[in-house]
Amino acid sequence: MHLSVGDKVRYLNDVGEGIVTEIIDDKMVTVASDDDFERPVLANELVKIGDNENYVSPEQVLTDNKQDKDVTEEIDDTIPDEENNEKVTVKDDETKEEVEEESNEDEEGSGILMGFVPADSNDVTASDLNAYLINDSSYYLLYNIVIREEGYTATISSGELEPDTKLFLSVYERKSLNYLSGFTIQIILFKKGIYEPVHPVEKNIKIKPVRFYLKDNFRENDYFDDPAYIIPVCQGQQEEEDTGLTKDQIRELIRDKQQISDVREKEEKKKSSPDTPVIEEVDLHIQQLIDNYKGLSNGEMLQIQIGHFRSALEDALARHLNKIVFIHGIGNGTLKLQLRKILETEYSNLKYQDASFKEYGYGATLVICNR
């Protein structure tokens, strides 16, 4: 029987199932069980699920016997209270809420999320993974991400992330996931101007390596061109604090705050130069840079675009511009890669990230100049 990485298998001489995570040789493979424990197993002691539909595991025999017994017995929906030697009724609503909360770990939705994108989209169950933090909300984020591995914890990234953007965190080799326990993500959500504060978020995300070997977990999504494994951190707008005020009192308070904010904003504008914008856009499409580009090779057009990028970036720094968005389009990705290579090697003191995908799709890079 031929086995491949990612195959779901069942033990012939033992109870349980698992995922093939490594082919050691012609006779031996490594299998990760549901509890993420990996062990070497002889291939002839395994059966690939789907190859033998008539095979019945010892687990299934026990389950079938239990179901047959339940048909003749009245269902008892109580559990013993050992301390008082009484029975306590289990409410259906409580059970349902617990199951739904657990199932939400794998559901994609708006809010704050983590995304894992295979480096090779043609081999999603074996290639390395690119990890991202996704802010699909209307809030700015102050974030701190801590990685938990066997024996230590460490911060891998911290900073500020704008609404409707995503941030590349790191590349993880496939085998290193076996030693990764998970992440702790700490987030403060805020908006510019007047808004009602929301509670900070701290979420522990447990990583189960076996899930990264299941192709069905990598799905089409709104954030990446390729299929990705999306893990929710917090979904939707966070619950706002109960202030104890009536709606009219809140509206009056907001009006007062807005008046104070307007006065402060006018004072700040007087202090700063009126000619210096907060953010600026630069379109690097070749038709926006020169009138006649026919006859130019791809290399020549690329040099013109890079030259304009350097000039615009230096001008933004000289004018103390806060942020600048470079629109480079998607294309084959060459221009985007060249811009980011220049930023990393020649402007390592600047931060950059994908610009808002709601405004620019996947075709723009935001450079933060005043850090």
Instruction: Choose the CATH number for 103-235 among 3.30.360.10, 3.40.50.970, 2.60.40.1600, 3.40.50.300.
Output: 2.60.40.1600
Single out the residue of 179, 227, 187, 233 nearest to residue 207, CA to CA: 179
pLDDT surpasses 60 at 241: no
pLDDT interval class at 330 (50, 70, 90): confident
Sorted by where each begins, the domain ranges of the chain are 1-75, 103-235, 272-368
pLDDT interval class at 190 (50, 70, 90): very high
Q: How many angstroms separate the first and last alpha carbons of the chain?
A: 58
Q: Between the ranges 122-126, 205-209, 280-284, where is the mean pLDDT highest?
A: 280-284
CATH topology of domain 1-75: SH3 type barrels. (2.30.30)
When the pLDDT of each residue in the chain is averaged and rounded to a whole number, the result is 75
pLDDT of residue 292: 83
Q: For residue range 283-319, what is the model confidence (pLDDT) as tens digits? A: 998 888 888 888 888 888 889 889 999 999 998 888 8
pLDDT interval class at 236 (50, 70, 90): low
| Whole-number Å distance between alpha carbons of 22 and 24 | 6
pLDDT interval class at 42 (50, 70, 90): confident
> Are 1-75 and 103-235 equal in CATH topology?
no
pLDDT of residue 71: 41
pLDDT interval class at 260 (50, 70, 90): low
Instruction: Choose the CATH number for 272-368 among 3.40.50.920, 1.10.10.10, 3.20.20.70, 3.30.1370.110.
Output: 3.30.1370.110
Give one DSSP letter per residue of 111-124, joined into a string. Answer: EEEEEEEESSTT-T
pLDDT of residue 278: 64
CB atoms closer than 10 angstroms to residue 70: 10
Contacts 24+ apart (CB under 8 A), 347-354: 347/313, 351/159, 353/161, 353/162, 353/165, 353/166, 353/167, 353/168, 354/165, 354/166, 354/167
- When pLDDT is averaged across residues 119-146 and rounded to a whole number, the result is 89
pLDDT of residue 182: 86
pLDDT of residue 74: 41
Least confident of 57-61, 129-133, 288-292: 57-61
Q: Between the ranges 98-102, 152-156, 248-252, where is the mean pLDDT highest?
A: 152-156
- Enumerate helices (H) and strands (E) in the chain, giving the number of each: 7, 19
Q: For residue range 68-124, what is the model confidence (pLDDT) as tens digits? A: 444 434 434 433 444 444 444 444 443 333 333 333 333 444 689 999 999 888 888
pLDDT interval class at 185 (50, 70, 90): very high
Taking a C-beta distance cutoff of 8 angstroms, is the pair 165, 353 a contact?
Answer: yes
